Amino acid sequence: MTRTWQITDVTEAARARIAAARLATAYGVPPLERTRLVASLSAQLRLCLTKGGAWRLTLETGAASRATPDATGSVLHAVVAPDRDTAAAGQPPWRVTVPCPEGVPAAEAEAEAAVDDPALLAEALLGADEDTALVLERLNEQEHLVDFHREELQQTNQGVVALHAELDAAGRAQREAFAAERKARTEAENARRRLTFLANASAVLTASLDHHEIVRRLPELLVPEYAASVDVWLFEQEGERPGPAHPAAAVVAARTGRPQYAAADPGGLPGVEDQPPSALEPERPLLCIPLPTRQAPLGVVTLSPPGERWDPDDAVMLIELTRRASIAIDHAQRYQHNRDIAETLQRALLTELPAPPGLALAARYLPATHGLNIGGDWYDAFRQPDGGTIAVVGDVTGHGLRAAVMMSQLRTALRAYAVDGGSPGRLLTRLHTFLHHLQPDLFATAVIARFHPDDPTMTWAAAGHPPPVLRTPDGRVQTLDAKPGAMLGIPLRQEITDHTVPLPPGSTLALYTDGLVERRALGIDPGIARLAEALGGFGSAQLEADLEGSADGILRPLLSDSQRDDDVCLLLCHLRGSG
């Protein structure tokens, strides 16, 4: 069905609008779609009247097409186009399509009724108002719905903002945790590096017993990682001589015993006092650390930083290293002092050998290669009032000053007892009693040989000591292994027995301590055999001519196999030939 209205003025436009609304109502177009159609049509008709001329409104009903996918039944097409004689002729027509239900064609006659009747006009106006009210009601519902969704969206946005804030805070906390973890890992690595350096440096400093070597090694350890320069000022090195000028902070450190930091700005170093910059080096910060001991500082170590200033933890480590260096220097100086005393005492105790008629003597004493150069090994030879000569080699247990003092007392006691005469066994018996009462917890071994120019025999006795080795003029070597007495000083009463052996001219007797022949891995017997072999390797003429050189020749093969861990003492007694 198609209907057409001619529109030239506002009255015809109103009638056409009313007819279109009635027809849409008759075809069951929903109110909202009907209101949308009428409003769009009214706007278009107003535009047509504004342009002027004759216009034509065409309403056509038909089945829905594929072009209108939302329509399921019939549709209503509205077309507004200018007439041919209108100035707007040729302009594209205005079109609109609305869906309408099927099955209401009976309402067409009512829709075609004239709209000149005032009652119909009023009814159309009221119907338009109802449609407008319905649209406004729907609009109000939509506004409420929009307000509801707006509030919901606002709450959602607030939740999203809060969530973003929480996520941002969590991210910030995670970043801070990662940064703290990296910082802690870095600090732990730096602490491990400092502790490793401190342990290694301490091992280097304590490995030497020469304090000059320790002072030399200290700058090598610190430069360039922890210091640009290191100056070690030891007080006793200068003595009465004027030394180089030292920074005022070093003098303060020496006087107070506390570390000092000299720079234009405070250092903020823990345990360190700040001082003005040094007049000697005003541009460089200086850290002056005393070398502490129980009594007074040994000196001061002055360091300049490898960069602009020190890290506080590095400064703490440097103070600790300096303390350990001070302990090492103090121990080395004490050791050297004790060693000097020991060497002086040793030289005083090992007196020159006599030169009795018909008897040549040669002695060698070698201290152990470690520790103080003093021990309990000793040798002696002296003449008795009856013209006999006593030769003795002894060994006091232990090392150090106590063993040396005890050795000196035994040596003096033996000389005193020998003045009254007495055989080697009798002398050792008296020494045993003397040592037991003087030092109950100290023991000794000894061997004594007695030579007399009128006696063709040699008398000897031993107390817990390695046996003498005798070389006769015919080149035979024998070990005098007769049963010896027990060690001197043990809590037993004993009478040490004398032994006698023929001693033709040209014979050589070797008295020695166990340091010459004993090795921990082999025992003592192989060493005695090697000594006998070495002694037998010398001829009588060579021993007669150069007993001192022969002593060196005997020691050389016996001491070349390993480092000594005990003192060595050797006494050669050569009975000169008759010719």
H or E element: which one contains 408? helix 401-419
Q: Is the peptide bond before 224 cis (omega within 30 degrees of 0)?
A: yes
Which residue matches tokens 């050389």?
Answer: 556
- Whole-angstrom distance, CA of residue 270 vs CA of residue 252: 17
- What's the confidence (pLDDT) of residue 17? 85
- What's the confidence (pLDDT) of residue 75? 84
Would 211-344 and 351-575 be classified into the same CATH topology? no
Structure tokens at 257: 């015993």
Which residue matches tokens 């509030």?
Answer: 151
- What's the confidence (pLDDT) of residue 299? 92
Cα torsion 523, 526, 530, 532 to 10°: value is 100
- What's the confidence (pLDDT) of residue 501? 95
* 273-275 vs 260-262, strand pairing mode: parallel
Give, as one character, the DSSP assignment of residue 105: G
Kindly report the number of other CB atoms within 10 A of residue 518's CB atom.
Answer: 17
- Whole-angstrom distance, CA of residue 250 vs CA of residue 260: 7
- What's the confidence (pLDDT) of residue 461? 96
Q: In terms of pTM, does the model score above 0.75?
A: no
- What's the confidence (pLDDT) of residue 565? 67
Which residue matches tokens 């003592």?
Answer: 524
Distance, C-alpha 155 to centroid of its chain: 55
Amino acid letter for position 410: L
Structure tokens at 174: 């995670």
> Is 3.40.50.2300 the CATH number for 211-344?
no
Burial of 120 (0-12, 13-18, 19+ CB in 10 A): middle
Helix, strand, coil shares, percent, the chain, to 5:
45, 20, 30
Burial of 449 (0-12, 13-18, 19+ CB in 10 A): buried
Beta-sheet strands, E only, within 286-329: 286-291, 299-304
Which residues does 528 contact at the CB level (< 8 Å), separation at least 6?
466, 467, 469, 479, 517
- Tell me the β-bridge partners of 275: 262
- Whole-angstrom distance, CA of residue 355 vs CA of residue 107: 167
| pLDDT, averaged in runs of 10, over the chain (579 residues) | 86 86 83 85 88 87 62 77 74 86 50 57 68 78 85 87 90 92 90 92 90 91 91 72 77 92 90 90 90 87 90 92 92 83 70 89 80 73 93 85 80 91 93 87 92 93 95 94 90 93 94 88 86 91 92 88 73 83
- Whole-angstrom distance, CA of residue 25 vs CA of residue 18: 10
Residue 479 near residue 517, CB atoms below 8 Å: no
- What's the confidence (pLDDT) of residue 109? 41
- What's the confidence (pLDDT) of residue 272? 92
Superfamily designation of domain 351-575: PPM-type phosphatase domain (3.60.40.10)
Residue 356 near residue 407, CB atoms below 8 Å: no
Kindly report the number of other CB atoms within 10 A of residue 482's CB atom.
Answer: 15
**Can you give the residue ranges of every domain in the chain?**
2-116, 211-344, 351-575
